[in-house]
């Protein structure tokens, strides 16, 4: 099939695959480039219109300027990515193509309600996300469904070479989504598990921001024993730390629409212990979920105790749990599986 994807405002404007291993990208940008790569590998003719900093063909996908996009050009599939693009509102869309809005956000520019009426189908990234769009924008559930964001499983092929670090935790999400809550839990964890260590990755520089919150969080963690606050790091290094970790410690305070870090860590064998906010109840399928309010002292105590129990339990039991989690996560989140769902939509016009 001939598949065209058009971006609109902000990121992923400008990005191309080499940036993934360079300065890094956010989860939505990574999802877009990864899916396009796999669809091209599966024989589709794929073009992305996103004003790339360096136009060209990468991984079999053509990245071109937005000005080159012509609405009336023949194609089988038009994917409108992230936010409503004016280019598809005010011109006639060919009736022979399927026009699909692929949403990865709940807050962005543009009229979601109007776009929902213009397209043939809306793809979200979780059941929680689908229900949000229905409740807030009135998009009918009959023309909307979710497809998981995939995990680049090929990047985790060294999971048998990179060994787990005993009692290692990782936090690899946006700082404001739970890092302060993890700091409240950390002293109790260290008291009961003196050998516990923590690696913190990701900060706002990933999106080109110099947010003061970067410094705020770093200062808050200064002096904490056995904590490495790495912030933004190259993707290969992130994967190494995910593979080394035994637990993803994520006391999330945000209504996640998917949570790519939870999916990645399940494939990496880092057992996610998370809150039940947003889509975590479905994405964290093979980890552990603690219901309740992560801001409360009671929840922090429950969270701390769950991590302590997991780290101090029988090591063979933990390793068996991690192995079963990895197998299930690879079956669910691999991009081959995700691409099959997209191809089902391309052929049938809806998701089962």
Task: Kindly state whether residues 176 and 299 are assigned to the same domain.
Answer: yes
Task: Kindly state whether residues 217 and 251 are assigned to the same domain.
Answer: yes
Q: Is the pLDDT score of 196 beyond 60?
A: yes
Q: What is the per-residue pLDDT for 267?
A: 98
Query: What is the CATH number for 132?
Result: 3.40.50.2000
Residue 313: domain span: 153-332
What backbone phi and psi angles, to 5 degrees, belong to 343? -65, -35
Closest CA to 284 of 270, 294, 274: 274
Closest CA to 192 of 315, 304, 318: 304
Mean pLDDT of the 164-179 span: 96
With a pLDDT cut of 70, the percent of the chain lying above it is 93
Closest CA to 170 of 179, 180, 157, 161: 179
Q: What is the per-residue pLDDT for 26?
A: 85
Task: Kindly state whether residues 77 and 178 are assigned to the same domain.
Answer: no
Task: Kindly state whether residues 27 and 77 are assigned to the same domain.
Answer: yes
User: pLDDT (tens digit, 9 = 90+) per residue, 70-122?
Assistant: 888 899 999 999 887 777 765 666 667 899 999 998 766 677 888 888 899 99
Q: What is the per-residue pLDDT for 9?
A: 67
Task: Kindly state whether residues 238 and 145 are assigned to the same domain.
Answer: no
**pLDDT band with cut points at 50, 70 and 90 for residue 212:** low
With a pLDDT cut of 90, the percent of the chain lying above it is 78
Task: Kindly state whether residues 161 and 86 are assigned to the same domain.
Answer: no
User: pLDDT (tens digit, 9 = 90+) per residue, 33-71?
Assistant: 999 999 999 999 999 999 999 999 999 999 999 999 988
Q: What is the per-residue pLDDT for 208?
A: 55
- Separation CA 89–CA 121 (nearest Å): 15
Task: Kindly state whether residues 140 and 197 are assigned to the same domain.
Answer: no
User: pLDDT (tens digit, 9 = 90+) per residue, 269-318?
Assistant: 999 999 999 999 999 999 999 999 999 999 999 999 999 999 999 999 99
Task: Kindly state whether residues 73 and 194 are assigned to the same domain.
Answer: no
What backbone phi and psi angles, to 5 degrees, belong to 113? -65, -45
Question: Quick one: tokens of 157?
Answer: 């092929």
Q: Is the pLDDT score of 207 beyond 80?
A: no
Task: Kindly state whether residues 102 and 166 are assigned to the same domain.
Answer: no
Task: Kindly state whether residues 129 and 82 are assigned to the same domain.
Answer: yes
Q: What is the per-residue pLDDT for 91?
A: 61
Q: What is the per-residue pLDDT for 84?
A: 77
**pTM of the predicted structure, to 2 decimals:** 0.94
CB 36 within 8 A of CB 48: yes
Number of domains the chain contains: 2
Mean pLDDT of the 4-24 span: 86
Task: Kindly state whether residues 66 and 192 are assigned to the same domain.
Answer: no
Task: Kindly state whether residues 141 and 223 are assigned to the same domain.
Answer: no
**pLDDT band with cut points at 50, 70 and 90 for residue 352:** confident
Helix (H, G, I), strand (E, B) or coil at 220: helix
- Separation CA 86–CA 335 (nearest Å): 30
């Amino acid at each position: 099939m001939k598949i065209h994807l058009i971006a609109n405002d902000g990121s992923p404007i400008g990005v191309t695959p080499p940036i993934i291993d360079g300065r890094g990208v956010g989860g939505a940008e990574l999802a877009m480039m990864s899916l396009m790569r796999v669809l091209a590998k599966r024989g589709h003719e794929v073009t992305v219109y996103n004003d790339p900093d360096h136009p060209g063909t990468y991984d079999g996908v053509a990245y071109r300027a937005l000005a080159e996009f012509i609405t009336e050009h023949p194609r089988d599939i038009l994917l409108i990515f992230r936010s409503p693009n004016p280019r598809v509102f005010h011109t006639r869309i060919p009736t022979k193509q399927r026009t699909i809005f692929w949403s990865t956000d709940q807050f962005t520019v543009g009229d979601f309600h109007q776009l929902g009426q213009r397209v043939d189908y809306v793809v979200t990234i979780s059941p929680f996300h689908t229900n949000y769009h229905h409740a807030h924008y009135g998009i009918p559930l009959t023309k909307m469904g979710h497809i998981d964001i995939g995990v680049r499983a090929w990047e985790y092929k060294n999971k048998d070479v990179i060994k787990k670090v005993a009692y290692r935790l990782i936090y690899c999400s946006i700082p404001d989504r739970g890092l302060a809550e993890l700091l409240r839990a950390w002293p109790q964890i260290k008291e009961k598990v003196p050998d516990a260590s923590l690696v913190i990755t990701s900060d706002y520089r990933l999106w080109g921001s110099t947010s003061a919150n970067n410094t705020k969080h770093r200062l808050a963690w200064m002096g904490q024993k056995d904590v490495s606050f790495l912030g933004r790091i190259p993707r290969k290094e992130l994967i190494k730390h995910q593979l080394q970790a035994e637990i993803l410690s994520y006391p999330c305070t945000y209504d996640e629409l998917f949570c790519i870090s939870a999916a990645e860590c399940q494939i990496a064998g880092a057992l996610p212990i998370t809150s039940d906010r947003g889509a975590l109840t479905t994405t964290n399928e093979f980890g552990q979920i603690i219901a309740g309010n992560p801001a409360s002292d009671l929840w922090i105590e429950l969270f701390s105790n769950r991590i302590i129990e997991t780290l101090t339990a029988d090591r063979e039991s933990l390793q068996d749990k991690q192995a079963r989690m990895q197998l299930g996560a690879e079956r669910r989140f691999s991009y081959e599986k995700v691409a099959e769902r997209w191809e089902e939509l391309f052929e049938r016009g809806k998701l089962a």
